[in-house]
């Protein structure tokens, strides 16, 4: 082998070695769990028969049930409908304040939409996407479906999709945003807990609230037990997370609730390792001294003002949420 050939071989070897190291380092840095593959998602949302009549009416089928959350994740001001469907003969089982144990075959459904005019909802809505979490093979699988232009169905989008959305907000302002339908990879990044994919919203403490069902006010946990999808237990011991949008609550409650719902999915000891290693623990129940909120309050405000956090799931700044956090941080 000539000298030039040796140099070329050495250059190729070092280049490939550096590339492999870079890839491995990047993967380790992100440390995102593999995308679960124990469920084969249907190509069309209609294949799941989650709705009755016209799909765009979002009227759940008889075996799909509404649920609401005490405090919600900000998602570019989108409205959301949440449903749960479990197989016949099964039941969701209480597991403390956290996410209950859902039976194999459970489908959690979250549909995102905007009213054309939020101050006059009778003008109708534009449905953007529906996300499914399906439990199969003992693990959760996730995927998003993009609704078509005539709102008759939604198509599987494993690789995500960007689209422009326009609407009139409750104050009468015309709004246009670049909306991101997340890829499976992006969903997994937020939904991992203890190196496994897991639901975020339907924790018992976040379901423990008063709702209206059949014209009656009832505790949601009581209602879920009454219709037979949640096991019977004394829910008086279950805590409840405050609604950070409730201005009658203290700024401390609102600030901590906001950080829990919008940040704690990654920023807690068992979340995304890249986030967990920063040492934050934004869970509502964590003692303030153990959260790093006080020592890093200026940093928290900075990354929210710059739109760097949340990392996934939003494309615009939550101005109202930011105002809550600034007021909360200034109170410390």
Q: Is 228 helix (H, G, I), strand (E, B) or coil?
A: coil
Rounded CA separation 132/261 (Å): 19
Is pTM, for the whole model, over 0.85? yes
Beta bridge partners of 219: 210
Rounded CA separation 262/328 (Å): 15
Per-residue pLDDT of the chain (332 residues; tens, 9 = 90+): 454 444 344 444 444 444 333 333 333 334 578 899 999 999 999 999 999 999 999 999 999 999 999 999 999 999 999 999 999 999 999 988 789 999 999 999 999 999 999 999 999 999 999 999 999 999 999 999 999 999 999 999 999 999 999 999 999 999 999 999 999 999 988 887 777 888 989 999 999 999 999 999 999 999 999 999 999 999 999 999 999 999 999 999 999 999 999 987 787 666 666 666 677 888 999 999 999 999 999 999 998 998 776 666 688 899 999 999 999 999 99
> Are the C-beta atoms of residues 36 and 139 closer than 8 Å to each other?
yes
Rounded CA separation 129/144 (Å): 7
């Amino acid at each position: 082998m000539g000298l030039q050939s040796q140099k070329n071989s050495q250059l190729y070897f070092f280049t490939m070695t550096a590339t492999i190291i870079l890839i491995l380092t990047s993967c380790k840095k992100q440390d995102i769990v593999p995308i679960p593959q124990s469920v084969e998602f249907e190509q069309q949302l209609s294949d799941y028969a989650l709705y009755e009549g016209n799909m765009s009416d979002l009227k759940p089928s008889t075996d799909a049930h509404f649920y609401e959350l005490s405090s919600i994740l900000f998602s570019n001001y989108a409205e959301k409908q949440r449903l749960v469907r479990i197989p016949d003969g099964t039941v969701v089982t209480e597991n403390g304040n956290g996410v209950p144990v859902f039976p194999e075959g459970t489908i959690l459904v979250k549909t995102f939409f905007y009213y054309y005019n939020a101050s006059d909802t009778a003008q109708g809505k534009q449905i953007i996407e529906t996300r499914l979490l399906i439990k199969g093979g003992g693990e959760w699988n996730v995927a998003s479906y993009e609704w078509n232009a005539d709102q008759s169905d939604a198509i599987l989008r494993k690789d995500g999709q960007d689209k422009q959305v326009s609407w009139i907000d409750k104050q009468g302002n015309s709004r246009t945003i670049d909306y991101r339908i997340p890829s499976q990879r992006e969903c997994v990044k937020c939904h991992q807990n203890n190196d496994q994919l897991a639901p975020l919203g339907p924790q018992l403490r976040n379901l423990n609230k008063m709702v209206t069902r059949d014209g009656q006010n009832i505790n949601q946990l009581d209602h879920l037990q009454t219709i037979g999808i949640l096991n019977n237990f004394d829910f008086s011991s279950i805590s409840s997370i405050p609604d950070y949008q409730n201005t009658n609550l203290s700024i401390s409650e609102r600030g901590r609730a906001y950080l829990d719902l919008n940040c704690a999915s990654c920023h807690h000891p068992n979340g995304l390792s890249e986030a967990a290693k920063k040492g934050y623990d934004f869970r509502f129940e964590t003692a303030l001294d153990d959260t790093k909120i006080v020592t890093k309050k200026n940093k928290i405000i900075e990354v929210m003002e710059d739109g760097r956090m949340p990392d996934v799931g939003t494309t615009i700044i939550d101005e109202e949420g930011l105002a809550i956090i600034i007021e909360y941080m200034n109170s410390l």
